[in-house]
Structures are given as C-alpha cells and as structure tokens.
C-alpha cells in the first residue's frame, strides 16, 4: 500500500460495500460469515475459493481450485493452484498482517514499498524484491522473483500490471479485505489467505479467537455504559474534513465501542467531505477526538489554528493511531490491526471508557501531548 493510499484511507475512513466480472454466478456467503467478498467451499480433494468483484454487482472476480494434487483436477472455469504455496509476492502492507499471523512471512519473495512494512520480513539481500508502488506494480520484476502467486488488492480504475501478470500465466490472488465494512469481516480474510497455505485449521482458529474477544468487548460496553461519550475523527485536510459514515469500517468500530457519533445513522458508502464550519457545528463539544494524523497537540495547532477550538483539544483528549509506527512511515495499524480488530476495539473502549479496562495499555493509539 502506497504512502498516499495509506494517508487517504486514514483521513477518510474509506470503505466501500463489497458486492460482487467473471460470470453471472452469484456469490453465496455462508450463514454466519462476516466477510462478504469471498466464499470457500470444501470438497474431498480440493477447495473452491470464489472472490466477488467489488466494483460490479452480481459478478465474480475470480475462482480458484486449490489442491495438494492439482494434476487430478480438470476445471476450466477458474485457476488451479497447488497448495501449499511456498513463495508469494504481495502488493499491500495489509497482506503482511495475515502472513505474520499464519507464520508465513518467510514465504514473501516480493513486496511493494518495503519501507512501508512494519512487520519484520525478509530483506532484499535475503531475496525479497521491491516491486515498486502498489498502484504501479513492476510486473516484470514480479516475474523475476519466481513466485507461486502474487496477492493484490484491486482498485476501481483497473490495473495494467494485473492484466500483464494474468496474461503471463502468473496466478493472481485477489485479497480485497480493505473493501469490507465490518471489522470482523476484514479479519475473516485470514481464512482465505490460510487456504492458499493449506492452513485452514489454523486460520479458522485464529479468527474464532479474534471474534470471541471482539464480541466479548462489544458486549461489555453494551452492558456497562449508560451515558455514551461523544466522538469526532480526522483533521482539516486542505480545507476539507473527511468523516466516516456510520456504515463504514471506522463508523462501525465507533458504534461497537459505545461512542455517540453524529453520523452513526448516515449510510454514505464511503467518507463524508465536510467544511470546517460543519465539523465545528456538530463536533465542537465532542468528548474525544480520534484518528488524528498529528503527533502532538502543538503539531495539530500548527496544522490549523481552528483545531484548538474543539473541546477535545482543550481537554487533551486527542488520539492518533501512530503508536506502532516507524520514521519511514510504516505503521502496524495497517498490518496486524486488520487481523486483530479486537485490539483496535480495546483501544477505542479504553479511550472512551478507561474504567472498563483499568489495566489496559493502548496498543495502536497514542494520546497527543
């Protein structure tokens, strides 16, 4: 994931509904599954993995048939892949969180923008190539790394490198976890990644524990809070302040943490661009301010003097998600938080209601001083 893409997503809390170009077949999501962008069907000798096209409703993006003995398969309506894969090229830092949770970072043979990766991965000297920017993947360099497959995130404008790799015969694994609006929906994509490494059991157990802890925290808040604290998010960015709607990833996270959020009933499919005046009207007296991109209150003031007009600034209740980050811009928020939304939810609960988690220490968030 490029620096620009990370920044834009952080500012906007951007998330689109994963709906479903490959055929008119509808994607049937199993009951109880949180992720809406993929489906895994288990058979005796293989697994069938189907990916929805997030940009075309009712269409499929890709179909995979995974098997330890692919020579026994004869399907022509999808990509046949031998599992487990041993060498993977990846384009987004969000993929690293899944690999790390599954103990497969050593399989990484190429990554886009390696300076943006927080988790320890093989160095270039150890054979992990720099594949360029996620929005402009170097297809030839990908092929030179000789991966079993490349994992990519898709974007609405299309991707020439993706088409180049597909024509070359390179298996392309579509990981569109960032399109999921439910925090547990994003985390559940570990089951898809696990399928390609023949680690379905491990992936299922990881997700089951994540779900258990997340729902437990959510219930704790629901059972304990009588008066909700109000929340605001983001910053004034070049004259526009982007706020998440109530149906996107961060909006749902605020709701699960028991926050009183002005746009909780807004169903905008993405972020809401606002003037500073509108933000002041609805959020001037908000109790807490999260998702700031500043490191300190002084930096926040220097970015825009109007930031000091908010109650949360004046009471020093402003937080960013930069606690686990490096000087090069790498941030674990984009990696392990995708797999572990229960940690992110715990941060939010502690920020809002510290009495519910008296011994807790912030994991991704840090308080501006």
**For residue 26, what pLDDT band results from cuts at 50, 70 and 90?**
low
Give the sign of the dihedral formed by CA 114, CA 109, CA 174, CA 37: negative
CA dihedral 347, 203, 211, 208 (to 10 degrees): -140
Dump pLDDT digits (tens) for 213-226. 999 999 999 999 99
pLDDT number for residue 369: 97
Residue 116 has pLDDT above 80, yes or no: yes
Nearest Cα to Cα of residue 226 among 260, 254, 250, 252? 260
Mean pLDDT of the chain: 91
pTM to 2 decimals?
A: 0.91
User: Tell me, what's the pLDDT at 18?
Assistant: 32
Alpha-helical segments (H) within the chain: 3-12, 94-101, 139-144, 160-167, 183-187, 190-196, 200-224, 249-256, 276-283, 297-303, 311-314, 336-339, 341-352
Residue range 282-309: mean pLDDT, rounded: 96
The pLDDT, as a whole number, for residue 131 is 95
7: pLDDT strictly greater than 50: no
Task: Give the list of residues 6+ apart from residue 151 with CB closer than 8 angstroms, or none.
Answer: 88, 89, 90, 91, 92, 95, 173, 174, 175, 193
Whether 10 and 249 have beta carbons less than 8 Å apart is answered as no
100, two tokens: 């790390």
Is it the case that residue 41 has pLDDT exceeding 50? yes
Close Cβ partners of 118 (under 8 Å, ≥ 6 residues apart) = 93, 96, 324, 325, 326, 330, 331, 332, 334, 335
329: left (phi over 0), alpha (psi -120 to 50) or beta: left
Residue 307 has pLDDT above 50, yes or no: yes
Q: Hey, which residues does 110 pair with through a beta bridge?
A: 89, 129
Backbone φ and ψ for 177, nearest 5 degrees, come out as -60, -30
Q: How far apart are alpha carbons 188 and 34 in whole angstroms? A: 7
Number of neighbouring beta carbons within 10 Å of residue 86 = 13
Mean pLDDT for 114-142 is 94
* Contact of 70 with 82, CB cutoff 8 Å: yes
Q: Specify whether the backbone of 286 is left (phi greater than 0), alpha (psi in -120 to 50) or beta.
A: beta
Decide the pairing of beta strands 79-82 and 149-152: unpaired
Quick one: pLDDT at residue 19?
31
CA distance 271 to 124: 37
Give just the sign of the alpha carbon dihedral 198, 201, 206, 207.
positive
Which of 13-27, 136-150, 303-317, 351-365 is least confident?
A: 13-27
């Amino acid at each position: 994931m490029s620096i620009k893409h990370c920044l834009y997503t952080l500012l906007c809390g951007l998330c689109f509904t994963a709906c479903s170009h490959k055929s008119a077949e509808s994607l049937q999501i199993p009951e109880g599954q949180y992720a809406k962008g993929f489906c895994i069907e288990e058979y005796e000798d293989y697994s069938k993995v189907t990916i929805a096209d997030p940009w075309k409703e009712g269409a499929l993006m890709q179909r995979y048939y995974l098997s330890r003995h692919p020579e026994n398969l004869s399907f022509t309506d999808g990509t046949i892949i031998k599992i487990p894969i041993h060498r993977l090229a990846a384009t987004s830092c969000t993929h690293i969180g899944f690999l790390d949770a599954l103990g497969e970072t050593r399989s990484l043979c190429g990554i886009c923008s390696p300076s943006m990766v927080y988790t320890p991965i093989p160095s270039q000297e150890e054979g992990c190539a720099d594949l360029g920017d996620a929005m402009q993947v170097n297809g030839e360099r990908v092929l030179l790394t000789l991966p079993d497959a490349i994992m990519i995130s898709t974007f609405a404008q299309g991707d020439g490198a993706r088409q180049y790799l597909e024509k070359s015969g390179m298996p392309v694994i579509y990981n569109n976890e960032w399109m999921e609006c439910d925090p547990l929906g994003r985390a559940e994509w570990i089951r898809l990644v696990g399928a390609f490494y023949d680690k379905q059991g491990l992936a299922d157990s990881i997700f089951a524990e994540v779900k258990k802890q997340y729902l437990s925290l959510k219930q704790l808040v629901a059972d304990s809070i009588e008066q909700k604290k109000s929340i605001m998010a983001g910053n004034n960015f070049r004259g526009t302040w982007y706020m998440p709607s109530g149906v996107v990833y961060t909006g749902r996270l605020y709701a699960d943490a028991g926050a009183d959020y002005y746009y909780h009933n807004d169903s905008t499919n993405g972020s809401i661009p606002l003037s500073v005046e509108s933000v002041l009207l609805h959020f001037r007296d908000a109790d807490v301010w999260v998702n700031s991109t500043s490191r300190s209150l002084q930096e926040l003031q220097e970015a825009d003097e109007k930031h000091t007009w908010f109650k949360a600034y004046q009471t020093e209740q402003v937080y960013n998600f930069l606690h686990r980050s490096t000087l090069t811009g790498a941030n674990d928020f984009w990696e392990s938080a995708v797999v572990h939304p229960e940690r992110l939810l715990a941060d939010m609960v502690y920020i809002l209601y510290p009495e519910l988690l008296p011994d807790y220490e912030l994991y991704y968030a840090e308080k501006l001083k």
